[in-house]
Amino acid sequence: MRRRVRAALVALSTALTVLVTASTTACGPVSGSRVLTVFAAASLTDVFPALANRFEKTHEDVDVRLHFAGSAQLAQQIAEGAPADVFASADAETMARLERDGLLDGPATPFATNTLTIAVPQGNPAGVTDFADLVDPDLTVVVCAPSVPCGAATRRIERLTGVTLRPASEEADVRSVLTKVEAGEADAGLVYVTDVAVAVAAGTVERIRFPEAAEVVNTYPVGIPVDAAHKDLARRFRDLVLSDEGQRILREAGFGVPS
């Protein structure tokens, strides 16, 4: 009983949060639809709407609701009883914690990979050329917090290179890092290659590659929470993500293939 009450309270809190934030995307009609709730890492913001639209075309009575945030934040919400039918994390460890706690309906499945890169404002005014440049005390550098996948990957790169960053801020998700660079509030930020690709195409940032990034790869798994309200639909959405069509959409967005 306490679990049900807690789940109801968290569900109400999540619903209220959605009303005042831009972290939720609704695809398709709402009236008369079954709602499939998908929690997805912030770095999937530019690609999962395409998958949701594709799913709705073959499931006309389904309204896919996408909730984007840092993977650790989403996992915590699920652990506290938030209603989610599908969870797509930006790293395997975050998903593994849910699995160890018995909060997944079966094992999660890897569906994509991603690596970090450096984003700088248009024109690269600080003259950043590689990862080691980010230790310059005159630079304003932003990264993800260590508790989220992009932050954990940043720490691994620091250990690999022997370079210790002193960032001006540690953000809750990768999109927050990118936003600060786009706004000119930072000279450089560490983001995923998929995020920077969209911003480069929009002409808001430039990308600075560094070779060490290839050695730190994040694998993205997709899983179904044990308390999912629509497990059959959740499995079909997961199958779409893993299908040839889903993989094509992900590859076109710059994601890699899991090994």
List CB contacts of 76: < 8 A, sequence separation 6 or more: none
List CB contacts of 145: < 8 A, sequence separation 6 or more: 70, 151, 170, 171, 172
Averaged over successive runs of 10 residues, the pLDDT of the chain (259 residues) comes to: 38 36 48 87 98 97 97 97 98 97 97 98 97 97 97 97 97 97 98 96 97 97 98 98 98 94
pLDDT at position 197 is 94
pLDDT at position 79 is 97
- What is each CA distance from 66 to 120, 158, 159, 195, 221, in whole angstroms? 29, 33, 34, 17, 16
pLDDT at position 26 is 53
pTM above 0.85, yes or no: yes
pLDDT at position 27 is 55
Residues 165-185 pLDDT 10s? 999 999 999 999 999 999 999
Residues 134-155 pLDDT 10s? 999 999 999 999 999 999 999 9
pLDDT at position 24 is 52
